[in-house]
DNA sequence: GTGAAAGCGCTAACAT
DNA sequence: ATGTTAGCGCTTTCAC
């Protein structure tokens, strides 16, 4: 069934050339006589040769593969991010190896020292459970690393993030400008100083301040995990507590979609009685009922930038530069849930 | 910044043992004196040694890595499938390399002969654009391969699929049993003989036959791509054409969710006026408004089975067995969209 | 229980 | 424009 693998040596013998010439052809070395090249290509085709990438990697000391560590692919934001990273990497000739951490601190740390780091040229790392206390773990890292997200700032690595505070400010102002004053927020993490939750809350409060609306703690609903289910639960709690509300800001889309679901269930009209805005602009927001206004975080740009920074650390001119922090652009996408 | 890599040779020198002994320790070879082992482990820790996987792979002729080719991670079904496959593979000590084909025939074929096949021990392959005519391409494959889905039956590879016809029959009967007679179906692919669309349509028609309901072509809406947007368009077309409808069967959840969206927009009550059922049981169906009844296809089981079959082809007792076809169980999940 | 030697398939350096 | 040589880091016989 499985014949022994065809090697370059076989191709060389068949094409009556040296090993090196075959290698040159395979690697598109430019200076090869056309006749030689075609003879080699013929032999390759006839024998069905493909390079052994393990051998190539060993020799080159590089694998052309980068890791992407995300919490979970079943969270749409990360699935879409992975999609974008794979495309961006492909455009640069890199292959992406996805690792799921489950947003568990232990597993997030394990990824940093895992065996996979030895056959990956670098890592794009999107932690959800790590915090500033873990910066130490990052500084022992001796391979190219790009951080994504807002868990760790000023860490010993390149960092791509978005302007969370400004974006949350803009989202809140979007509601304020439409006459809303009792704006609930879903997804807060009490006592947390870093992370998307804290930053987005900051933007929310800043907008209220700016608009002269007093901050009311009763309007803040916690949600540890940012899933549809927790968003739904938080929304239900707010309604059950009979808090007066005319708008909801979900700190991510999943939360907002969960909230939307509960509002629909309870026959609360959106945006009539309560306007809703989310954050992330996942695909689904364009097809919910009603469609969800949200913050578009520039996912593609983030992915592209992360890959580029990593590539520069791997080989490029950025190899020894000080660590850089890139902040991606955002925009507000207005849909039905805040219309009118 | 980057010191030269620590190799087994360095560890051996430090621990005063031979290369082989270090290798034995790293690979958990059982017969090593405890004192030797701990000395080696100490040296490994002190030097921060990790095995070079490229070298190991080259030597072993295996990488411990399997490919998973899917259309797109941004399609929730495939994101969730990828999640499941990664978990199942991890449990067997395998790493998964995801490849996106974009559901483009050309790219689906390219994956089969791609360079990545040379550092992957096998492939789990979920084509969307291929058909029976492409079976030939599969038979030249000389590595372990497991097919997923319903594009290719009786092909030269192991195959994991679900009982599409029976599941679609059950979904349709679910509507019939709730008194629905004018059941529209969204997502048909005209003139296609294989694939999920054709099989699910078959189940639909069989259920109508069984219930003595005449088949009405006016109730069949095409949708080439199974996205929310195409589902929404198809639903809008049906409504605009004023076809009499009391239920909708979306051939997948995305289509059904798109339809749900349009119904909500047009103030059609679900399930009051029109009941809706989908297919796939993606996470989102539990949080739409209303929640969506659907077919649960046993995603976890499919993933686990696929990994197991592949592993058997790679190393196990199944290496030279005839090709197997495994059909996973399904179940109907009743939610609000068909309740009452 | 441990060591010595060979070589997996490829590419980089240095010829020619 | 092509060939020769050496060796990437590891595992695998086969000795001892």
Condensed to tens digits (0 to 9), the pLDDT of residues A204-243 reads 999 999 999 999 999 999 998 888 889 999 999 999 999 9
B103 touches chain A (CB under 8 A): no
Of A82, A115, A291, the CB nearest to B73: A82
Residue B130: what pLDDT?
87
Residue A34: what pLDDT?
87
* Fold held by B3-51: 434 Repressor (Amino-terminal Domain) (1.10.260)
Please choose, from the candidates B3, B186, B160, the residue with its C-alpha nearest in 3D space to the C-alpha of residue B85: B160
A9 touches strand C (CB under 7 A): yes
Place of tokens 């560890």: B11
CA distance A189 to A213: 22
Please choose, from the candidates A37, A34, A45, A35, the residue with its C-alpha nearest in 3D space to the C-alpha of residue A10: A45
Q: Which CATH number fits domain B63-161+299-329: 3.75.10.10, 3.30.1490.20, 3.10.310.40, 3.40.50.2300?
A: 3.40.50.2300
Could you identify the residue whose CA is nearest to the C1' atom of nucleotide C1?
B32
Condensed to tens digits (0 to 9), the pLDDT of residues B271-282 reads 999 999 999 999
Condensed to tens digits (0 to 9), the pLDDT of residues A178-206 reads 999 999 999 999 988 888 999 999 999 99
CA distance A212 to A66: 48
Average pLDDT of B240-252? 97
The answer on pLDDT for A301 being more than 50 is yes
Helix axis angle, A19-26 to A8-15, nearest 10°: 110
Do residues B261 and B232 touch, judged by C-beta distance below 8 A? yes
Condensed to tens digits (0 to 9), the pLDDT of residues B152-208 reads 888 899 999 999 999 999 999 999 999 999 999 999 999 888 889 999 999 999 999
% of residues, chain B, pLDDT over 70: 98
Residues in Cβ contact with B219 at an 8 Å cutoff, skipping those fewer than 6 apart:
B182, B183, B184, B185, B238, B243, B245
Would you list the domain boundaries of chain B?
A: 3-51, 63-161+299-329, 164-296
The answer on pLDDT for B35 being more than 80 is yes
A264 touches chain B (CB under 8 A): yes
Q: Which CATH number fits domain B164-296: 3.40.50.2300, 2.170.190.11, 3.40.109.10, 3.30.450.40?
A: 3.40.50.2300
Q: What's the half-sphere exposure (Cβ side, CA atoms, 13 Å) at A287?
A: 23
The answer on pLDDT for B18 being more than 50 is yes
Per the confidence metrics, is the pTM higher than 0.85?
yes
Chain B residues touching A54 at Cβ < 8 A: 54, 57-58, 63, 118-119
A8 touches strand C (CB under 7 A): yes
Chain length of chain A? 340
**Cross-chain Cβ contact B1/A286 below 8 Å:** no
**Cross-chain Cβ contact A286/B228 below 8 Å:** yes
B3-51 and B63-161+299-329 have identical folds:
no
B32 touches strand C (CB under 7 A): yes
Residue A273 DSSP class: T
Average pLDDT of B276-297? 93
Q: Give, in Å, how far the C1' of C9 lies from the CA of B234.
A: 54
Average pLDDT of A168-177? 98
Under the phi-then-psi rule, with left for phi > 0, alpha for psi from -120 to 50, and beta for the rest, what region is A187? left
**Sign of dihedral through CA atoms B264, B269, B270, B274?**
negative
């Amino acid at each position: 069934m499985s014949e022994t693998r065809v090697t370059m040596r076989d191709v060389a013998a068949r094409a009556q050339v040296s090993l090196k010439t075959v290698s040159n052809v395979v690697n598109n070395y430019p200076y090869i006589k056309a006749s030689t090249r075609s003879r080699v290509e013929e032999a390759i085709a006839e024998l069905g040769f493909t390079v052994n990438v393990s051998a190539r990697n060993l020799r080159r000391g590089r694998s052309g593969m980068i890791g992407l560590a995300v919490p979970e692919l079943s969270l749409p934001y990360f699935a879409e991010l992975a999609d974008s990273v794979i495309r961006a990497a492909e455009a640069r000739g890199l292959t992406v190896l996805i690792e799921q951490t489950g947003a568990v601190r232990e597993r997030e740390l394990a990824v940093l020292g895992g065996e996979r780091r030895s056959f990956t040229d670098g890592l794009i790392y999107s932690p959800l459970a790590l915090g500033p206390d873990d910066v130490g773990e990052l500084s022992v890292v001796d391979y190219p690393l790009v951080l994504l997200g807002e868990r760790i700032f000023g860490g010993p690595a390149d960092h791509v993030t978005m302007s969370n505070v400004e974006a949350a400010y803009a989202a809140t102002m979007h509601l304020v400008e439409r006459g809303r004053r009792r704006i609930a927020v879903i997804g807060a993490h009490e006592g947390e100083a870093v992370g998307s939750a804290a930053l987005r809350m900051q933007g929310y409060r800043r907008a209220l301040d700016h608009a002269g609306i007093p901050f009311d703690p009763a309007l803040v609903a916690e949600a540890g995990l940012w899933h549809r289910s927790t968003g739904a639960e938080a929304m239900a709690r707010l309604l059950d507590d009979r808090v007066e509300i005319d708008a909801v800001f979900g700190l991510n889309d999943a939360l907002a979609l969960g909230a939307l679901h509960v509002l629909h269930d309870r026959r609360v009209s959106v945006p009539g009685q309560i306007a809703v805005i989310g954050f992330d602009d996942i695909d689904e927001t364009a097809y919910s009922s009603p469609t969800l206004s949200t913050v578009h975080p520039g996912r593609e740009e983030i992915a592209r930038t992360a890959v580029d920074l990593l590539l520069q650390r791997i080989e490029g001119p950025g190899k020894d530069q000080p660590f850089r922090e890139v902040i991606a652009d955002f925009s507000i996408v207005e849909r039905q849930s805040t219309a009118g």
